[in-house]
């Protein structure tokens, strides 16, 4: 099978629209599926006060996400649109990059419509409705973060023309998925991959193993990431305003050209010039390697 061309994403699966969206099918969720949401919601919302950025808790509240059961995307979108003009639509799973970016550029967030099974409670490969809605949607109610996500979608579409998607994907990974923010001298969580994970919401903030270093756009785009375990390095932004400003002010075309000849950095090694907030012991990653 050949790689799909950047501007020719594969056709959507049967039953999906041209933009890959599907009906959420809210009335078809079983009591067990709603109960799984409630179980995950309770576990995470007990963990997050004092650890997550207050903007996330505000989003949970504004969007009434504590209402029991899997949220109905229409009702959720109504509240979200009032806050920032974003909507949530359902997709069957991962969608092609170009499709994903086009939705973000249009202030539409695509969310998986299925929920993990009890066996998958702590780890699953594809983003389900809990990761997508609990993890991502609260911050879409924050005006600055909402603009950052749109800018990311627009930048993503442009990156396809430079063959630089994998560099830009690192920016998404280390901010939207696994970002930390420094607020009033304290580190707080904001990345969706962390806030939707029971284990990583403690590890990312409190464990001595990972590095925590100041966010630098070029540095991040040279740093590979792992999709199979906790991160070995977290990048810390000063504020959403600063992240948005850096993203909007950077001319990515010359940056991509420069990065083409720059080597990838080791994902666990502190580099000269890094702002080190915590030098990780990497003990966790090493213990996993020995056992693997």
Q: Using CB under 6 A as the criterion, which residues of the chain lie in contact with ligand HBI when the complex forms?
A: 91, 94-95, 97, 100, 110, 127, 169, 172
Residue 34 designated active-site: no
The set of residues, in sequence order, having a beta carbon less than 8 Å from that of 108 and lying 6+ positions away, is 86, 87, 88, 89
Active-site residue, selected from the candidate residues 77, 103, 159, 177: 177
> Whole-angstrom Cα distance, residue 89 to residue 117?
22
Q: How far is CA 92 from CA 23, 60, 111, 153, in A?
A: 9, 24, 8, 20
User: 177 catalytic, yes or no?
Assistant: yes
Contact track, Fe ion, 146-185, x by CB under 5 A: ----------------------------------------
| Contact window for Fe ion (CB under 5 A) among 9-17, 96-104, 119-127, 283-291 | 119-127
97 binds, among ligand HBI, Fe ion, none (CB under 5 to 8 A by kind): ligand HBI
Measured between alpha carbons, how far is 101 from 116 in angstroms, rounded to an integer? 25
Catalytic-role residue among 77, 98, 159, 196: 196
* Choice between 172 and 256, CB closer to Fe ion: 172
Task: Give which of 123, 141, 167 is closest to 264, Cα–Cα.
Answer: 167
Judged by beta carbon distances under 5 to 8 A according to partner kind, the member of Fe ion, ligand HBI, none in contact with residue 121 is none
CB atoms within 10 A of CB 277: 15
Give me the least distance between CB of 91 and ligand HBI, in Å please. Answer: 5
Indicate the SS3 state at residue 87.
Answer: strand
List the interface residues with Fe ion, window 195-234 (CB under 5 A).
none
The answer to whether 14 is a known catalytic residue is no
Q: CB within 8 A of 282, min separation 6: which ones?
A: 209, 210, 232, 268
- Nearest residue (CB) to Fe ion, 166 versus 245: 166
Instruction: Point out which residues pair with 180 in neighbouring strands.
Output: 189, 236
Whether residue 103 lies in the annotated active site: no
Query: What residue ranges bind Fe ion (CB under 5 A)?
Result: 127, 192
Catalytic residues: 131, 136, 177, 196
């Amino acid at each position: 099978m050949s790689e799909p061309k950047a501007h020719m994403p594969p056709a959507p699966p049967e039953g999906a629209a041209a933009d890959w969206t599907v009906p959420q099918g809210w009335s078809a969720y079983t009591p067990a599926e709603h109960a799984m949401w409630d179980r995950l919601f309770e576990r995470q919302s007990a963990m997050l006060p004092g650890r997550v950025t207050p903007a996330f808790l505000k989003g949970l509240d504004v969007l009434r996400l504590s209402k029991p059961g899997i949220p109905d995307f229409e009702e959720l979108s109504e509240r979200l649109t009032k806050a920032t003009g974003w909507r949530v639509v359902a997709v069957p799973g991962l969608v092609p990059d170009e499709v994903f970016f086009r939705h973000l550029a249009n202030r539409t967030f695509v969310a998986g419509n299925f929920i993990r099974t009890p066996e998958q409670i702590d780890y699953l490969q594809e983003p389900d409705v809990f990761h997508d809605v609990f993890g991502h949607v609260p911050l879409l109610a924050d005006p600055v973060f909402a603009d950052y996500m749109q800018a990311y979608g627009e930048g993503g579409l442009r990156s396809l023309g430079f063959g630089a998607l994998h560099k830009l994907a690192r920016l998404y990974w280390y901010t939207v998925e696994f970002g930390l923010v420094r607020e009033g001298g304290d580190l707080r969580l904001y990345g969706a991959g962390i806030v939707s994970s029971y284990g990583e919401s403690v590890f990312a903030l409190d464990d001595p193993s990972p590095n925590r270093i100041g966010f630098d756009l070029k540095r991040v785009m040279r740093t590979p990431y792992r999709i199979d375990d906790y991160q070995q390095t977290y990048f810390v932004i000063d504020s959403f305003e600063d992240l948005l400003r850096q993203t909007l002010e950077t001319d990515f075309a010359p940056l991509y050209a420069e990065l083409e000849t720059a080597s990838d950095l080791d994902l666990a090694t502190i580099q000269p010039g890094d702002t080190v907030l915590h030098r990780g012991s990497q003990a966790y990653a090493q213990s996993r390697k020995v056992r693997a």
